[in-house]
Structure formats: structure tokens, C-alpha cells
């Protein structure tokens, strides 16, 4: 099975210059790969570094050591050392990301927030909006909210907008940071369906799910992040 993303020996720490330069190691020796058509889940307690790993894979957090090899544009690229411009191209074409919280933009409607990733990739605005409508309907977001900016929405409504925005594109790799945290059972089931549909089209998913039922329903493999605790590495 193709592995579009391979992580080897990645380490990450934060240096707090405002706190006398103390160094907080987060993870070390992170090595795994994800496969097309599968949903891999990062497991472990809060603070183990799951979100940090996802953020490194999206080029959001800097990587101290190691490699993150991504299949991009018929080549292999090390995301850990790629230029900002390359990371942007990878985000546009190869790696999608559903963050934990929606970052709202003033005055932009929920519909356009969802359609935007497609418009950025050159799709016609009206056809992008059509797909956005379909996804928002599938996620049971009341139609009267579509034309409003999501800043005033409830947590669950914002998260559904965020999920729709992340799932609307056809990225071959999709990272999910607790997409179901504030959803009710009905909408959790919709997300499970959406993940199954992505798997069926050969997308490689990597996610964090605290919800036991969702994890059971979507996970093909679970990677225990506590194995990457910085103290655990000998040598």
C-alpha cells in the first residue's frame, strides 16, 4: 500500500526565552508512516505531543531534528527543511488539515469560509459554493446560518464549518485534530461517514480523536505517542 508520508526520528522542543531560556522537550524519536486509504490515529493522554506532531506535519511547528518525507507533485520532499514557499504548495495540493478550532475572518460568510480552499486552488466560485452547500447540509448546519460569518456561531456549529472546510478539497493526505470534540452524536456519525468516504478514495488520514466511539469506528491503526516521550530514547 502506498505510504505518502513517512516520519523518521523527529524531535521537537520549545525554548522559552522569556523564562530564562528553559527548554521543554515535547517529543523525540518520532517515527511512523501513514498509508493511503487508511485512517491512522495518534493515541495517548493530553500533553503527550499529539497535536504538536500534527502541527509539525503541516509545517506549522518547526522541527528540531529528523525528517518528514511527503510525496508531493510526483517527487519526495522533506517538509522539515522545506522553504515556506514549498510548504505553501504542499498545503495547497497535498496536505489538508482540520484544526481544533475555526479561525474566523470578519465578514466572510460560513459558505465562503468553506468554499475558499477550492477557490484558492483555482475552482470557479459558484461551483465551489455548490460543493460547500452540499457539505454544510450533510453536516446539518441550518441553512439560515450559511450566509452569516461564523464568529457568533456555537462551538459545535463552528466546528462543523471547520470540518466542511477541511473535507471539501481532495488532498491525498488529511490531518484531523479532534474534529468531533464538540459535536453531538448525530453529527459525529456524519464525520465518521465523511472519513470512510475519504478512505474509500485512497486518502491517507491521520487524526486525534478523544472520543472512544469515533476512534473505534474510524481507526485502522493506533500509534501510541507516549512511545515518543523525550526521556524514553536511549542513546
Partner 1 sequence: MTDEPLLRVSALSKFYGSRVGCDNVSFDLWPGEVLAVVGESGSGKTTLLNCLSTRLLPSSGTASYRMRDGQFRELYRMSEAERRFLMRTDWGFVHQNPADGLRMTVSAGANVGERLMAVGDRHYGKIRATAVDWLSRVEIDEDRIDDEPRAFSGGMRQRLQIARNLVTGPRLVFMDEPTGGLDVSVQARLLDLLRGLVTDLGLAAIVVTHDLAVARLLSQRMMVMKDGRVVESGLTDGVLDDPRAPYTQLLVSSILQV
Among 22, 24, 76, 105, binds partner 1 (CB under 8 A): 105
Question: Closest CB to partner 1 among 111 and 194?
Answer: 111
Angle at 201 between CA 101 and CA 92, to 5 degrees: 50
* 146 vs 199, beta carbon nearer partner 1: 146
CB contact set of 235 (below 8 Å; sequence gap of 6+): none
DSSP category for residue 37 = T
* Close Cβ partners of 18 (under 8 Å, ≥ 6 residues apart): none
Q: Which stretch binds partner 1 (CB under 8 A): 58-66, 157-165, 202-210, 212-220?
A: 58-66
Residue 60, interface with partner 1 (CB under 8 A)?
yes
Determine what percent of the chain falls in helix, strand and coil, rounding each to the nearest 5.
40, 25, 35
Binding to partner 1 by residue 22, rule CB under 8 A?
A: no
CA atoms within 13 A on the CB side of 73: 10
* Separation CA 82–CA 94 (nearest Å): 14
β-strands 22-34, 5-16 pairing: antiparallel
Pick between residue 119 and residue 181 the one whose CB is nearest to partner 1: 119
The stretch among 103-111, 139-147, 163-171, 181-189 that binds partner 1 (CB under 8 A) is 103-111
Cα–Cα distance for residue pair 88/95, rounded to 1 Å: 10
Interface stretch with partner 1, choices 67-75, 106-114, 127-135, 138-146 (CB under 8 A)? 106-114
Residue 150 and residue 105 in contact, taking contact as beta carbons nearer than 8 Å: no
Of 85 and 186, the one with the shorter C-beta distance to partner 1 is 85
Q: How far is C-alpha 190 from the chain's CA centre?
A: 17
The distance of closest approach from Cβ of residue 21 to partner 1 in the complex, given in angstroms and rounded to an integer, is 8
CB nearer to partner 1: give 72 or 198.
72
Q: Which of 4, 29, 44, 59 binds partner 1 (CB under 8 A)?
A: 59
Minimum gap (Å) between residue 51 Cβ and partner 1: 11
Q: Of the two residues 107 and 144, which places its CB atom closer to partner 1 in the complex? A: 107
Total number of residues binding partner 1 (CB under 8 A)?
21
Using CB under 8 A, list all residues that contact partner 1.
14-18, 55, 59-62, 84-85, 87-89, 105-108, 119-120
Amino acid at each position: 500500500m502506498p505510504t505518502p508520508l513517512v516520519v523518521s526520528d523527529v524531535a521537537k522542543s520549545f525554548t522559552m526565552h522569556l523564562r530564562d531560556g528553559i527548554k521543554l522537550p515535547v517529543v523525540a524519536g518520532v517515527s511512523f508512516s501513514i498509508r493511503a486509504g487508511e485512517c491512522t490515529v495518534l493515541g495517548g493522554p493530553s500533553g503527550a505531543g499529539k497535536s504538536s506532531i500534527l502541527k509539525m506535519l503541516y509545517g506549522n511547528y518547526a522541527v528540531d531534528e529528523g525528517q518528514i518525507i511527503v510525496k508531493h507533485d510526483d517527487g519526495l520532499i522533506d517538509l522539515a527543511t522545506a522553504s515556506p514557499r514549498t510548504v505553501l504548495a504542499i498545503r495547497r495540493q497535498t496536505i489538508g488539515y482540520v484544526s481544533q478550532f475555526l479561525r474566523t475572518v470578519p465578514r466572510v460568510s460560513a459558505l465562503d469560509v468553506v468554499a475558499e480552499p477550492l477557490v484558492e486552488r483555482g475552482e470557479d466560485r459558484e461551483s465551489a459554493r455548490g460543493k460547500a452547500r452540499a457539505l454544510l447540509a450533510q453536516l446539518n448546519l441550518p441553512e439560515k446560518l450559511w450566509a452569516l460569518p461564523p464568529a457568533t456561531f456555537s462551538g459545535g456549529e463552528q466546528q462543523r464549518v471547520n470540518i466542511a472546510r477541511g473535507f471539501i478539497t481532495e488532498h491525498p493526505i488529511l490531518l484531523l485534530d479532534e474534529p468531533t470534540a464538540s459535536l453531538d452524536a448525530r453529527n459525529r456519525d456524519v464525520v465518521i461517514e465523511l472519513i470512510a468516504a475519504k478512505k474509500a478514495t485512497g486518502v491517507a488520514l491521520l487524526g486525534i480523536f478523544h472520543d472512544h466511539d469515533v476512534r473505534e469506528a474510524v481507526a485502522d491503526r493506533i500509534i501510541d505517542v507516549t512511545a515518543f516521550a523525550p526521556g524514553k530514547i536511549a542513546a
